[in-house]
Amino acid sequence: MNNFGIAIHGGAGTIVRKKLTPKLEKEYRAVLRQSIVSGYDILKVGGSSLDAVQSAIVVMEDSELFNAGKGAVFTHDETNEMDCSIMCGKTLECGAGTLLRHVKNPIIFARTVMEKSEHVLLASDGAEQFAKLHNLEIVDPKYFHTKRRWFQLQVVKEKETETETTRAILDHDGDNSKHGTVGAVALDKNGNLAAATSSGGMTNKRYNRIGDTPMIGAGTYADNRTCAVSTTGHGEYFMRLVTAKDVSDLMSYKNMSLKDASNEAIKKLSAIDGSGGLIAIDKNGNITMPMNTPGMYRASFSNGKQEPLVKIFVEE
């Protein structure tokens, strides 16, 4: 049987045991499990890697826990602006969206751009016009207003005029508000790779800031000759390094293994003081999930395994 497998992430950041309550940890692990199983089940019956990554991401977008879809963080102006992208490793076709404010599942939007338009990246009002034309689910912005993200915005805003008390609150939840993008990479039984990423960006972002998530090559990349990659962390650094494509290039130009190429990309991130992680799968089904942060919500499931591996902390 051909190898197949899937890996997902739900964001990297200052996720440490003493700050994550057992209840919340359990909730994260349950949704990560649900997400990876939904993608794996598609691959198991011969479905495509594109369908698998989309399905896994929709589960996380529909959960309040992750900074994507329903749980997207707030901008400085108290709106939600979402970024997304998807890429097919067989054809190198891709689709992406940014500044989405009403699309319930941004990843479905990215897939629709890839398959139903001649473009790669659509933004803002025009993007939402395109979404309506293709009958994607449109929701009132209130759908994205969750208490937790609202609180994070207030804390982060207060941090701008920081006091000792706000520093303590920030320490608890605020740091993690900067991270939480979701992503998935998969290899199907036909040897096709796919990668996808979806994000609310960073709390308190202003001036229509756009992150690495909708940037093909920075946040997402897939090529059947090498690997599929999805990144998460401080987007500006991933954009400077074009990290997802860098992993693929290190494999093709330097003949590195998936693991070595991914570790090298994270080393480059650390060298310019960027923080985050990535998930990657190669054409043989090897999976790696390196990070330079204390944690990254993540999971993997390959053929031959009975159960998915679900992890949060770096030392797991």
Set 181, 220, 231, 288: catalytic member:
181
Edge-first strand order for the sheet with 121-123 is: 121-123, 94-100, 82-88, 193-199, 182-187, 5-13, 295-302, 309-313
Q: How far apart are CA 182 and CA 106, in angstroms?
A: 11
Q: Tell me the residue type at 43.
A: L
The nearer residue to ligand ASP, 174 or 201, going by C-beta atoms, is 201
Smallest distance from ligand ASP to CB 276, Å: 6
The nearer residue to ligand ASP, 50 or 210, going by C-beta atoms, is 210
Q: How far apart are CA 277 and CA 13, in angstroms?
A: 9
The nearer residue to ligand ASP, 212 or 223, going by C-beta atoms, is 212
Closest CA to 216 of 226, 229, 203, 200: 229
Smallest distance from ligand ASP to CB 300, Å: 18
Smallest distance from ligand ASP to CB 230, Å: 10
Edge-first strand order for the sheet with 220-222 is: 220-222, 227-233, 276-282, 287-288
Q: Is 181 a catalytic residue?
A: yes
The nearer residue to ligand ASP, 176 or 226, going by C-beta atoms, is 176
The nearer residue to ligand ASP, 105 or 293, going by C-beta atoms, is 293
Question: Cβ of 252: how many Cβ atoms within 10 Å?
Answer: 13
Residues that bind ligand ASP (CB under 6 A): 11, 67, 179-181, 199, 201-202, 211-213, 232-235
According to DSSP H, which parts of the chain are helical?
A: 22-44, 49-61, 106-116, 124-133, 147-159, 164-169, 235-241, 243-254, 258-271
Smallest distance from ligand ASP to CB 84, Å: 11
Smallest distance from ligand ASP to CB 205, Å: 8
- Active-site positions read 181
